[in-house]
Structure 1
Amino acid sequence: MNSQPSYLPIMFMGCTSDAGKSLVTALICRYLANTGLNVAPFKAQNMSNNAAVTREGGEIGRAQYLQALAANQIATIEMNPVLLKPHSDIGAQVIVNGEVSHQLNAIDWHQRKAILWPAVTASVERLQSKHQCLVIEGAGSPAEVNLRKSDIVNMELALHVDASVYLIADIDRGGAYAHLLGTWMCLSKQEQARVKGYVLNKFRGEQALLEDANHWILEKTGIPIVAVVPWTKHQLPEEDNFFHRNQWQAGATNIALVVYPYASNLDEFDPLIYQSGVNVVPMREWQDLSQYDAVILPGSKHVAESCKHLLSTGLDKAIIDAAHTGVRVLGICGGLQILGDKVLDPQHIEGEQFSGLSLLPITTEYDSNKVTIQRKVDWAGEQLNCYEIHHGKTQCTENLAPFVEVNNGWQHGQVQSSYLHDLFTNKSFRQHWLEGLGWRGQCEDWQDVIDKELDRLCEQLAEPLKQICEHAKLN
């Protein structure tokens, strides 16, 4: 048992998705950790195709992985016991305690709570036994009354752990006070009692202009605005959104990142996106790629659908033409499979077999076993920290040169492929790969960049973070 003084959990819920819960949770974790508190993040259920692999080989959301780093903790499956990975408009792979649950995939949504809730409560109780305080993130909005009976991530959890709840509204979008009032009104009396304060996020302007509205919401609900978080540019990973809208730039090293449906783990390319002199352009529709220095095909939660998108938009031909004209093409995980001749699916993991772009003589066969493992890979006298997360085994039908690791990646001319995620977070690999494109510069260690960015944001936003923690009596 943890013998240090303990505090009630603090929990952040949003009036809408993308209100800023994940970022505020990460920054509160770092702020409290910097005060010496033994703190850990928790999110009962996440929905995202951006997954990280923990040391024990389980999957959790990338946001909780970042929050663990912010809290100076090693990420564990307990921090996100349920992960939903969408693979269609109505379907998602269910990950429980880090592993795929084939049983739950076949059960109606509202019937899953009986199985998932014990996993959630067991995880949160284990974390509470090891840490002084939990910083908990909700999901979506607690005002989704259609999901109330199956709730395991918002108010049901807050009531279970006696959390102090803070509702976050994105004021940059407009309608923040209406969102706060409407969310509060959708809650039961018991749930309303758990809400201790409101947080206005992404604010631009003079805070004095908010005073009348702050008094209004206090009169309506009896709950105060405890902090206003200014809109702040940052380089931390975005879990579900890919906002980069760059276009080809003269004088830069231009990289086309193919963002097909169900593209996953896009934050692993942040080290390229934020690298000086490098311009990463998201590519969703056909474009002439011959002017680019490289094209990257990322991972995918539904490789067959991603490949269909390439065919329907003409991006398949653009990628093939680019490769034939000497543009470097790199496929990571699902992207590797797309670069091959075909993908066989005898167990109907994705429902069908399909042909790839035939830029590499490789064939993949899916099976029910899913590889999820952290890796330390020896490469060019260095050790790369990577991870794998994929279905299927791939065989090369010709004698190709390996790429990074034998039998786990192949290259032929300027076409490269690997099952290893997070290659570019490794400074030495990123330096080598970019220099091969003609880029000149000096790469930084990406983990140091993230760590410094967390501290910078905590310093820049010290006042609102302090206001939240003081109001929650976490001091």
Structure 2
Amino acid sequence: MVRIILPYIISLSVNVFIVSTMSDSGKTVIVSALLRILSTRGFHVSPFKAQNMSLNSYPSIEGGEIALAQAMQAYVAGVKPSIYHNPVLIKPMSSTKAEYIILGKSRAQLLFNEYLNNGAIRRLAINAVKASIRKLTEDFDLVIGEGAGSAYEPNLVSRDIANFRPAEWLRANVFVVLDIDRGGSFIQGLGLMSSLPPRWRKLVKGFIINKFRGDEKLLGTAIKWLEKKTGKPVLGVLPYVDDLWLWPEDSMDLRPIGNGPLDIALIAYPYVSNFNDIYSLILEDDVTVRIVRSPRELGEPHLIILPGSKNVVASLEWMRRVGLDKALMKFKGSAVILGICGGFQAMGKVLSDPYGLEAGIPGNYDGLGLINVNTIYGADKIVSLSRAVGLRGEIEGVEISGYEIHRGVPQYVGDDPLIVIRERNGRDVEQKDGVFREEDLMIGITLHDSLGDPIFRNFVLNMAREVAGLPKRNSLELSSIELLLRQIDKFSSIIKNTLDIDSMINDG
């Protein structure tokens, strides 16, 4: 029966675009759930975010770099992450400057106002967005798009290519997510509709109220008020869900994990990136992951994690400024210290940046000196899905998988590598990486998502368990993508029971 009806449904379907009045309103989660639901119904669906600002990124199938959130949405939709899912990625390097990645490739490092006023880079970005829309609409039954931040800001709207312009180019039905948890959602909805020019107002087909706590009946009067004022329906009210672990878009998603006896401290320095590396730890019921930003908060952990960083030099300067550099030295040999990518680089002796692409200014910079490894930053960025083989410890001879996004290459000046990377994007390589100094309990690795590999996670956590006097154990053998699908299915069931998805994709 489904096979007979499905082609008819698809022929009437229209793309969907989710916007909001603010960041962190739940757009990414709602888009992910819609993709999951439609994919399981048999639709060939694609995520799309024209422009994203995020320090969390991921390799695409083409070998380019896209936002981690759109990679997540691709996996949820049952497709491989592509540069066309996120044609413009902005990665902040400082409070005024960012790296601009267009169709997967780093194109420039500019001040924010330079990006807005640079005609050449803007044309490149606009053309990339339009080319991506053409590609996706040709290859997929449906595209589920997502806006960025607030959908209409008067100082940006004339140059905004993240919200209503791509929605218009997609010819999509637009739905506005209102975050009721932070208050003012009904007024925000009215304010947005009052601000929009008529042609964009027509694209809006309704509102979705998100993150509600309490009795939905209490909203009845307010919902009727908003519908009367705007002429647009409220499609549904979604509850606040606080135990959902999806791949993060920005540092607002950084939060503690668990309540077990194994105490883990995550150092949350500025420009922390790809901290989804720790998300697989939710599978471990004996861990507690605390977010640490000062020596006082460090406590007496059994494991300290130095995560990735977009600007390792700035993160090191911050650690020195707040005193975490000296605090970390006290745990040498008494707690496991794990550095991942930028965190691994920060653990070393010298960071050499001859082009100034990491620090912003060419030079040599001191690391924490916890390990005898230097880092040299090249002009070319390595962006790859990678496979490696362990060289030492409990992972000797074992294959470890993950992904790489970095310019830094380790140079060994006394310590030995932990792994050798054998494959990048399907191509054979031979690159020594990481470090393992057992006597000092130091572990470093460049591969993101390595903790998502159960064997590597066992290796690290069992060392920490030994420090804590806890019994060793084996992790649940579940990949990070399988874990992701389990998590999104929780929210998808809520969406299915709350929103009329057929009406959202109906072109009538």
TM above 0.5, yes or no, is yes
The equivalent residue for 1:33 is 39
Which residue of 404, 420, 433 maps to 2:419?
Answer: 404
1:435 aligns with 462
Q: What residue identity is the alignment partner of 2:386?
A: R
Question: Distance between the aligned counterparts of 2:399 and 2:202, measured in 1?
Answer: 51
Distance in 2 of aligned mates of 1:421 and 1:61: 14
Task: Specify the alignment match of 1:473 in structure 2.
Answer: 506
| CA gap 1:47/1:294 in 2 versus in 1, 3 angstroms | same
Match of 2:104 in 1: 98
In structure 1, distance between residues paired with 2:17 and 2:398: 41
CA distance in 1, matches of 2:458, 2:447: 17
Q: 2:446 aligns with which of 419, 423, 433?
A: 419
Q: What is the rounded CA distance, in whole Å, between the counterparts of 2:20 and 2:495 in structure 1?
A: 19
Q: Which amino acid aligns with 2:404?
A: E
Q: Distance in 2 between matches of 1:415 and 1:143?
A: 48
Once the two structures are superposed, the pairs formed by residues 89-128 of structure 1 within 5 Å of their partners are: 89-102=95-108, 107-111=114-118, 112-128=121-137
Give the corresponding residue for 1:370: 381
1:188-203 matches, within 5 Å, as 188-203=197-212
Alpha-carbon separation, structure 2, partners of 1:471 and 1:294: 47
The count of aligned residue pairs is 469
Matched letter for residue 16 of structure 1: M
Whether the 8 Å CA contact 1:58–1:97 is kept in 2: the answer is yes
Picking from 62, 74, 77, the partner of 2:80 is 74
Question: Secondary structure of the equivalent of 1:436?
Answer: helix
Report the counterpart of residue 23 of structure 1 in structure 2. 29
Kept in 1, the 8 Å contact 2:210–2:238? The answer is yes
**1:389 Cα deviation from its structure 2 partner:** 0.7
What CA distance in whole angstroms lies between the structure 2 residues aligned with 1:355 and 1:261? 17
- Whole-Å separation in 2 of the counterparts to 1:343 and 1:459: 48
Q: Among 361, 372, 383, which residue is 2:372 paired with?
A: 361
CA contact (8 A) 1:113 1:151 kept: no
The Cα of 1:239 is off from its aligned counterpart by: 1.7
Q: What 5-or-longer segments of structure 1 have no aligned partner?
A: none
1:159 to 164, 168, 172: 168
8 Å contact 2:206–2:235 — kept in the other structure?
yes
Task: Give, as a single letter, the amino acid of the residue that structure 2 aligns with 1:442.
Answer: S
Alpha-carbon separation, structure 1, partners of 2:42 and 2:76 = 13
On the 8 A contact 1:287/1:318 being kept in 2, the answer is: no
The answer to whether residue 244 in structure 2 is matched with residue 229 in structure 1 is no
Secondary structure, in 3 states, of the residue corresponding to 1:430?
A: helix
- Does residue 402 of structure 2 align to residue 392 of structure 1? no
Taking the aligned partners of 2:109 and 2:367, their CA distance within structure 1 comes to 31
- Please tell me whether the aligned partners of residues 257 and 282 of structure 2 are also in contact (alpha carbons under 8 angstroms): no
Task: Assess, with a 3 A threshold, how the Cα gap between structure 1 residues 202 and 165 changes in structure 2: closer, same or farther.
Answer: same
TM-score by length of 1: 0.94
8 Å CA contact retained: 2:115, 2:122: no
Query: Residue 461 of structure 1: SS of its match in structure 2?
Result: helix
Structure 1 403/282 Cα, relative in aligned 2: closer, same or farther at 3 Å? same
Matches within 5 A, 1:46-85: 46-85=52-91
Report whether the alignment pairs 1:132 with 2:141. Answer: yes
Q: Would the alpha carbon gap of residues 424 and 435 (structure 1) be closer, same or farther in structure 2, given more than 3 Å must change?
A: same
Structure 1 CA distance, aligned partners of 2:30 and 2:505? 14
Quote the residue 1:451 is aligned against. 485
Mapped contact 1:377–1:384 kept (Cα < 8 A): yes
Give matches, 1:171-320, under 5 Å. 171-232=180-241, 233-240=243-250, 241-245=252-256, 252-287=261-296, 289=298, 291-320=300-329
Q: Deviations over 1:369-394 (max 9, x none)?
A: 11111102234454322111111222
Structure 2 length as normaliser, TM-score?
Answer: 0.88
2:272–2:310 CA contact under 8 A, matched in 1: yes
Q: Give identity over the alignment, percent.
A: 33
| Residue number among 325, 344, 347 corresponding to 1:339 in the alignment | 347
Distance across 2 between alignment mates of 1:376 and 1:55: 15
Specify whether residues 184 and 468 from structure 1 end up closer, same or farther in structure 2 by C-alpha distance, changes over 3 A only: farther
The alpha carbon displacement at 1:53 in A equals 0.9
- Looking at structure 1, the residues matched to 12 and 324 of structure 2 have their Cα atoms a distance apart, in angstroms, of 55
CA contact (8 A) 2:15 2:142 kept: yes
> For residues 456 and 350 of structure 2, what CA distance do their matches in structure 1 show?
29
* Alignment-mate amino acid for residue 402 of structure 1: P
Instruction: Verify the 8 A CA contact 1:202 1:230 in the aligned structure 2.
Output: yes
Separation in structure 1 between the aligned mates of residue 248 and residue 355 of structure 2, nearest angstrom: 34
Q: Structure 2: where are the runs of 5+ without partners? A: 1-6, 421-430, 466-471
CA contact (8 A) 1:423 1:429 kept: yes
